[in-house]
Amino acid sequence: MNNKNCPICSNKSQSEYAPFCSDKCANKDLGNWLSGRYYIPGEKINDETIYDSVDLSDILKKDH
């Protein structure tokens, strides 16, 4: 039995959308992550830093 509440609206969580109660709340949570409202604290890095640390030519050469 699921006794947990939705972290967005506090309604009863539904197993299909766990831990949320609905698709609407699940999408609101996703939007919060994508907009930067939610984030994991740590040192900010920019795209250039990521690309400098990865040799893209090696990645492109790999067989998939």
pLDDT, residue 56, reads: 64
Determine the straight-line distance between the first and last CA of the chain, rounded to whole angstroms: 43
Tokens of 38: 């939610």
**pTM for this entry:** 0.62
Distance CA 4, CA 54 (A): 42
pLDDT, residue 5, reads: 98
pLDDT, residue 60, reads: 74
Per residue in 9-51, pLDDT (tens digit) is 999 999 999 999 999 999 999 999 999 999 999 887 777 766 6
Residues 6+ away with beta carbon under 8 Å from 36? none
Per-residue CA distances from 16 to 3, 12, 13, 20 (Å): 14, 12, 9, 8
pLDDT, residue 1, reads: 45
- Where are the domains positioned within the chain? 15-61
Cβ–Cβ < 8 Å for 34, 49: no
